Amino acid sequence: MSQCLNPECLTINPDNFQFCQKCGNKLLLVERYWAKSLLGQGGFGRTFLAVDEFKPSKPFCVIKQFLPQAQGTETVAKAAELFAQEAERLELLGKHSQIPELFAYFSVDSRQYLVQEFIQGETLQQELDNRGVFNESHIRELLIDLLSVLQFVHSHNVIHRDIKPENIIRREADKKLVLVDFGASKIMPKAQRRTATGTVIGSAEYCAPEQSMGKAKLASDLYSLGVTCLHLLTQMNPFDLYDVMEMEWVWRDCLNGNFVSDELGKALDRLVEQKPKQRYQKIEDVFADLGFGNSSVSVTQEIQKTRRNLVSNDVPLVSARGVNYENLRDLLAAGKWKEADMETGNCMFKLAGLEELGYLSEEDINNFPCEDLRTIDQLWVKYSNGKFGFSVQKQIYQSLGGTTKYDEKVWDAFGDKVGWRPGGEWLFGYDDLTFSLNRNYRGHLPVYWGEEIDLDAIALFFSSGKY
């Protein structure tokens, strides 16, 4: 199928048609590119998935069509200038492996087009919507990966000016993060006057204060990157993470048990400083505060190490008592959360030496092998992308003041956090749980403890250091 690029038509046509069946517009753009489907549109144009007919493999690419919705001659002229500048930026920066490469820039029928590399994968916003909040490991991987890209961009004196989760794609082929959409980017003058004011551009909730006044700096990108991290950690709109009355960030109050170390927290705080002079000025300083030093070699090694940890398919199925975890692994990999939860219960009762599901005592909890609990936890954490698992529940429980002894108030608060007590009422039965990764609270699973529950035993379990 081929899509008509006439803005007033956009009809889908059968393959091999040279002209649109409805409007007669020529379908093969500059005798080379077939538009296949509309990917998206914004205030200044539309984006299409396309096929490059000139290359033997017929690879996918992206066509960006300049089509401003803004009114006024000056506004449209400025938009056209920005579109042309985007092509220039991609030609300058697109040789970096984590920035889309520019293939072509031209005008047809008085409309501007640019053609760029297609990045197959999900945006970080899609990841957040589909899999839930990012944990500390994900955020550290994001920072060390994207800071290296920004280091390259800033070395060419370019400010991206629109860093946000929608403009970061995790490439499916190698899981690397790719920075896209340089439509708002700008080259910094070598000697910028203090009074110079540029175009106000960017997404408001991620925009640095100075950028919102038309005075973007290289450090403005670091601010946007920091706000992106806060959004991914909390799944909340950045506007709700800043207390305008107290003029301070309150993102820690919105973590809902998502653990963030002091080291990472301090780095994030400095990234989102309101005053540019108090913010990080050099990317090397961020690396240093995250414990990676200034060496590009050490940063590269850390990126590779973190990425291996995140994408590795191998969780060692270790058991001190001969329990087979292959079925649990396969159920989790298939996203069969209820079946996996029940299989987890089966495994734990086998570990306790019980022949049937019934009751786990404090003695049983104390005698659980660390190796087995770690295997179960790592499987849950891996296949839920950090949303489920014993260690996730433990972080939430302890953040609420939970100890080895059962406390009704703490237990009620824990139930609220993990979704076992919606609206202040405990769920009546097992089938009342929602076995869906996208809809569930963080820490909602695993939950199957058998026919009876010993709350003292569970308190002891969530306070243990075995996993």
The CATH number that applies at residue 261 is 1.10.510.10
Quote the number of domains for the chain: 3
| Same structural domain, 359 and 386 | yes
| Same structural domain, 76 and 142 | no
- Determine the Cα–Cα distance for residues 36 and 17; give it in Å rounded to an integer: 12
- Determine the Cα–Cα distance for residues 121 and 172; give it in Å rounded to an integer: 5
| Same structural domain, 226 and 372 | no
| 162 given a catalytic annotation | yes
- Determine the Cα–Cα distance for residues 58 and 54; give it in Å rounded to an integer: 7
- Assigned domain for 318 exists: no
Question: Which among 282, 311, 340 is the end of a domain?
Answer: 311
Question: Which among 117, 136, 165 is the end of a domain?
Answer: 117
- Determine the Cα–Cα distance for residues 460 and 447; give it in Å rounded to an integer: 15
Place of tokens 């994968």: 121
- Determine the Cα–Cα distance for residues 104 and 115; give it in Å rounded to an integer: 5
| Same structural domain, 65 and 152 | no
- Determine the Cα–Cα distance for residues 99 and 149; give it in Å rounded to an integer: 8
Secondary structure string (H, E, C) spanning 14-47: CCCCCECCCCCCECEECCCEEEEEEEEEECCEEE
All residue ranges of the chain with pLDDT < 50 are: 192-197, 294-297, 309-313
| Same structural domain, 146 and 197 | yes
| Same structural domain, 138 and 257 | yes
| Same structural domain, 303 and 418 | no
- Assigned domain for 321 exists: no
- 241-265 as b/e, with b when 16 or more CB fall inside 10 Å? bbeeeeeebebeebbbbbebeeebe
pLDDT at residue number 29? 94
| Same structural domain, 226 and 293 | yes
- Assigned domain for 317 exists: no
| Same structural domain, 273 and 354 | no
The domain that holds 12 is classified in CATH as 3.30.200.20
| Same structural domain, 11 and 142 | no
Q: Among residues 52, 145, 162, 454, which one is catalytic? A: 162
Report the candidate in 167, 165, 182, 171 with the shortest Cα–Cα distance to residue 124: 165
The domain that holds 383 is classified in CATH as 1.10.10.1770
- Assigned domain for 319 exists: no
- Assigned domain for 143 exists: yes
- Assigned domain for 316 exists: no
Lookup: tokens for 60: 């996918």
What is the CB neighbour count within 10 angstroms for residue 432?
Answer: 10
- Assigned domain for 168 exists: yes
pLDDT at residue number 153? 93
Question: Which among 254, 283, 311 is the end of a domain?
Answer: 311
| Same structural domain, 134 and 235 | yes
- Assigned domain for 422 exists: yes
- 386-400 as b/e, with b when 16 or more CB fall inside 10 Å? bbbbbbbbbbbbbbb
pLDDT at residue number 413? 93
| Same structural domain, 398 and 352 | yes
Residues in the chain: 467
Lookup: tokens for 459: 């308190």
Q: What DSSP state is assigned to residue 189?
A: P
- Domain extent at residue 176: 121-311
Give the CA distances from residue 225 to residues 231, 303, 338, 399, 456, in Å, rounded to whole numbers and listed in that order.
10, 17, 36, 27, 43
